[in-house]
Amino acid sequence: NAGVTQTPKFQVLKTGQSMTLQCAQDMNHEYMSWYRQDPGMGLRLIHYSVGAGITDQGEVPNGYNVSRSTTEDFPLRLLSAAPSQTSVYFCASSTGTENTGELFFGEGSRLTVL
Amino acid sequence: GNSVTQMEGPVTLSEEAFLTMNCTYTATGYPSLFWYVQYPGEGLQLLLKATKADDKGSNKGFEATYRKETTSFHLEKGSVQVSDSAVYFCALIRTSYGKLTFGQGTILTVHP
């Protein structure tokens, strides 16, 4: 089973560049989310979606955009990268249309912004 | 708001030692509580959970009891193995739709 797949695993950007982190799941999960992981700060929620066409902001949404055109895919876009966005990003999904707290995580995407 | 506080780390133990890893929380109402584990180079995996007071979650020899009176959910294992070396995250959810709050994580290293 593929589960939650993230690409790329590593990326280096220059300040001001844009990019998209891809996330796909093959479990037919309605709920999907993006987190960033920073040392000493745990994971913080960026954006989430409870189904195709529905997205909402988490606690640190600034500088990021998302869309959900299909159940399977939930890309995260950085419109103008900043050094403060250097982090490890995780996509996670859950069964149903609500987050029960039982999340399935991808392996992460490590982003460095110079 | 909701918050989760984990013990200062990292924690270093010898194989077969007893593990206690502290987690306390602040939340209104009755949150569900979780421990997630992150092995090197991987994403997080759910280790165990408890959804109401006095519930005990258990998995892979790890246990944690939901203590509402002390707002705690401490993780324990009687005999750790080298393969338990990982980062452990305590987390809570108070509402649905993505509001899972994580602690800062505790690194566990187990030596042979």
Q: What pLDDT, on the 0 to 100 scale, is given for residue A99?
A: 63
For residues A53-79, average pLDDT: 95
Shortest distance between the Cα of B109 and any Cα of chain A, in A, equals 17
Q: What is the dihedral of CA B55, B57, B63, B69, to 10 degrees?
A: -30
Contacts of A7 in chain B (CB under 8 A): none
pLDDT at A92 over 70: yes
- Could you give the CA distance from residue A41 to residue A36 in angstroms, rounded to a whole number? 9
Residue among A8, A1, A3, A2 at smallest CA distance from A76? A8
- Could you give the CA distance from residue B96 to residue B70 in angstroms, rounded to a whole number? 24
B48 has a chain A CB within 8 A of its CB: no
Test A105 with B91 for CB contact under 8 angstroms. Answer: no
In chain A, % of residues over pLDDT 90 = 81
Contacts of A108 in chain B (CB under 8 A): 42-43
Higher pLDDT, A89 or B96: A89
- Could you give the CA distance from residue B73 to residue B77 in angstroms, rounded to a whole number? 13
Q: What pLDDT, on the 0 to 100 scale, is given for residue B29?
A: 79
- Could you give the CA distance from residue B39 to residue B85 in angstroms, rounded to a whole number? 7
A51 has a chain B CB within 8 A of its CB: no
- Could you give the CA distance from residue B67 to residue B54 in angstroms, rounded to a whole number? 6
pLDDT at A14 over 80: yes
Q: What pLDDT, on the 0 to 100 scale, is given for residue A100?
A: 75
- Could you give the CA distance from residue B110 to residue B112 in angstroms, rounded to a whole number? 7
pLDDT at B99 over 80: no
A43 has a chain B CB within 8 A of its CB: yes
A75 has a chain B CB within 8 A of its CB: no
pLDDT at A101 over 90: no
pLDDT at A63 over 70: yes
Under the banding of pLDDT at 50, 70 and 90, the label for residue A97 is low
**A52 contact partners, CB below 8 Å, separation of at least 6:** A68, A69, A70, A71
According to DSSP, the β-strands at B100-102 and B86-93 are antiparallel
Q: What pLDDT, on the 0 to 100 scale, is given for residue A38?
A: 92
- In this complex, the residue of A42, A48, A106 whose CB is nearest that of residue B98 is A48
